[in-house]
Amino acid sequence: MSSQKGTSKNFPIRPPVAQSGSKKKVMDAKTVSKNGKEEKKSTSSPKRHFSVSDCQGYWYIYAPHWEVRTSNLIRCLDTTFVKRTTQYSWELPEHEKREVHKGFEIRVSYPPKIVSDEKEKSRHKWTHLHRQIHLGDYERCKAELIEAKVRLMESQRRLERERVDEKQLKEAKRELAIAKADLEREMKERKRLGLPLDIDPFDESFPTGVPSSSVKVSGGVETKTSDVMKTCYFLARGSVQGVMFRQTLIRGARKQNLRAGATNLDDGRSVAITLIGEASKIESFARNITSMKELNSWGAKVESWITIDQKDGKDISDHQVTTENVDTFAWDTSVKMFL
């Protein structure tokens, strides 16, 4: 090169683009300035850094927009493009050009060279103002550093996702351990109550009691009959809230090998009850509750015992206190139960 500092004063006007037929389209004034700077057109695409692959092969620059500072450093004098070919920048796809702005510096392997490739020289009549460059080791190292930072950030995001997954896994294991403990406690309780153990814990239809055998004498012949299992729903009213009534009822039901559930109602003087077991035991248990003057040392007493329909009752699992969870509450140990 005869001059190291480029200038755009003598840059020729960009030629009009030929259209089909004899018509010609006039250049858009927004994309080409009055002095016809070929590389002045700027796209709205985001700024792209040079990648490692960009450091391979040749690039082309428009010389009047660049200043050669040293043999290995060039500086941009105006917004322009670094291109893979000498074609007009508006003709190139995005991946074959990089937009750079005033003051941008590029480290090159050698000073910009005059275009020698015949194909590149013949693209248009302004190719003699272009120069060929090759990105140097500095740009390659910078590109490698940028890509390494991107990989590091992705690794950090992946690590964070794995930490979240690990936390969720720990929570799932904790919930599984709780479920296993609940199942083990249930099986121990069933064993204590004499209920069958060979059941599927996920089958809600498994039997909740064992039929008791009774002897009936008919015509001098003894026959064994099995009592019928029932689910009954009741409403107890009276002094039944704030006096340990639910705990007293549930523990009394346990003594009779009954499953039970009890829930305080919003009126402050009623408790919804569900009992499951042999029909005769449920009847006997209900009679005891209604006949006793006091059910515990806190003065719990049932004034009204009403049988309600199934549609108005609650499942055992929906009650506040049940034969399964009664031991999990921090009850006052001073109460004495008479039921």
In a domain, 335, yes or no: no
Mean pLDDT of the chain: 77
How many domains are contained in the chain?
2
Q: What was the pLDDT predicted at 240?
A: 93
Beta strands per DSSP E along 33-162: 59-62, 66-70, 73-76, 80-83, 97-100, 105-107, 113-114, 130-133
In a domain, 101, yes or no: yes
Residue 218 CA to residue 210 CA, distance in Å, equals 24
3-class state of residue 191 by DSSP? helix
- Cβ distance 247 to 325 under 8 Å? no
H or E stretch including 145? Answer: helix 137-193
Q: Which of 67, 102, 135 is the last residue of a domain?
A: 135
Structure tokens at 166: 């690990």
Q: How does pLDDT run across 203-215, given as a tens digit for each residue? A: 555 455 444 444 4
Given its phi and psi angles, is residue 268 left (phi above 0), alpha (psi -120 to 50 degrees) or beta?
A: left
Q: Which of 97, 112, 135 is the last residue of a domain?
A: 135
Q: What CATH number has the domain bearing residue 245?
A: 3.30.70.100
Q: What was the pLDDT predicted at 29?
A: 36
Q: What was the pLDDT predicted at 104?
A: 87
- Average pLDDT across each block of 10 residues of the chain; the chain has 339 residues. List them in order: 41 42 40 44 49 74 90 88 89 88 86 89 90 78 72 83 83 83 78 65 52 49 59 92 92 91 92 92 90 89 90 89 90 88
CA-atom Rg of the chain in angstroms = 45
Q: What was the pLDDT predicted at 247?
A: 92
In a domain, 259, yes or no: yes
Residue 120 CA to residue 36 CA, distance in Å, equals 21
Q: What was the pLDDT predicted at 167?
A: 82
In a domain, 130, yes or no: yes
In a domain, 265, yes or no: yes
- Alpha-helical (H) ranges within the chain are 118-121, 137-193, 245-255, 279-291
Q: Which of 92, 107, 135 is the last residue of a domain?
A: 135
In a domain, 106, yes or no: yes
In a domain, 278, yes or no: yes
In a domain, 210, yes or no: no
Number of H helices, E strands in the chain: 4, 17
Q: Which amino acid is at 30?
A: K
Q: What was the pLDDT predicted at 236?
A: 94
Print the domain residue range for 73: 28-135
